[in-house]
Structure 1
């Protein structure tokens, strides 16, 4: 498999940081702030903290109410994270490494929730802005990572194209 590039290590470090922040914030929301007992708390303007245990994929799509679905989604998230980690090990562009680190970290963070709770802990609520989904730090990292990866694919080094 060879050596891991400097940017590959950076991607892994970012992924680990995303997992740590995601899980720490979820711990605070669940056990310190006790959002499950409060259900929804206005924070500022259109932003609220709202407790949602999401059994679906991103933004509640494709619900997996059965145990088989829970484990299938957990396994899928971990396989995607592993595949992206293989890609990241040889990253040559900073934006590629950042993108992959964000997606890997978010996928692992949400997989941890599915394994622990049978659902993903969502709590960031901007529904007053007509954004209908409640999400979390891991979802945000995945979304930003995918957008940056698309941007990277559009602006990357064209001299290597076939």
Structure 2
């Protein structure tokens, strides 16, 4: 007599910690954005060090404000890309949850992508507030914790791929 499996399979159970990491990224990202929007006016900046400021900025485009003045269609376009990427990343995590560095990379990228999608859906723009600068070179475009998680995830992804190629 065949019985139904009550407990999840190994592949689905390995998805849980990675979704948890993504959820933590989303939580810290959203809390930081709520805090900055409640304490700063748009464009207001606070000098923290000689190379770092906090500033409230809105980005209607993508990374580095790409297409930020495109007329509004980019909000829906980048939201759709973010949702599509999140779905694909969850599928990859389900298949490759046992590959730790790869899964860390994907979880960080997932959390960052969803964090920015939430902003686009709620506000129509992404809230940025981390402003790094270097004298003589000007200011790097402002960014947020979601963007940081995406960059760290991308770096881990590249490192994982380089390790895999060198084996």
TM range, smaller chain: 0.7 to 0.9
Question: Structure 1 115/65 Cα, relative in aligned 2: closer, same or farther at 3 Å?
Answer: farther
What's the CA shift for 1:52? 1.0
What's the CA shift for 1:9? 2.0
Give the secondary structure class of the aligned counterpart of 2:53.
strand
1:30 & 1:112 partners in 2: Cα distance? 15
Is 80-89 or 56-65 further displaced after alignment?
56-65
What's the CA shift for 1:4? 1.4
Root-mean-square deviation over aligned CA pairs = 2.0
1:134 aligns with 2:139: no
Among residues 143, 160, 164, which one is paired with 1:152 in the alignment?
160
TM-score (normalised: structure 2): 0.84
Q: Give the match for residue 17 of structure 1.
A: 24
Runs (5+) with no aligned partner, structure 1? none
1:62 aligns with 2:70: no
Q: Give the match for residue 105 of structure 1.
A: 111
Look at both structures and tell me which one has the larger radius of gyration over its CA atoms. Answer: 2
CA contact (8 A) 2:86 2:113 kept: yes
- Give the aligned length: 155
Runs (5+) with no aligned partner, structure 2? 1-8
Give the secondary structure class of the aligned counterpart of 1:122.
strand
Question: Structure 1 150/40 Cα, relative in aligned 2: closer, same or farther at 3 Å?
Answer: same
1:89 aligns with 2:97: no
> Displaced runs of 4+ in structure 1, greater than 4 A?
none
1:46 aligns with 2:51: yes
Question: Structure 1 5/156 Cα, relative in aligned 2: closer, same or farther at 3 Å?
Answer: farther
Q: Give the match for residue 12 of structure 2.
A: 4
TM-score (normalised: structure 1): 0.87
2:58 & 2:113 partners in 1: Cα distance? 16
- Write out per-residue CA displacement over residues 56-101 of structure 1, whole angstroms, 9 at most, x where no aligned residue: 1112123264332211111111110110111011222110111000
Question: Structure 1 96/56 Cα, relative in aligned 2: closer, same or farther at 3 Å?
Answer: same
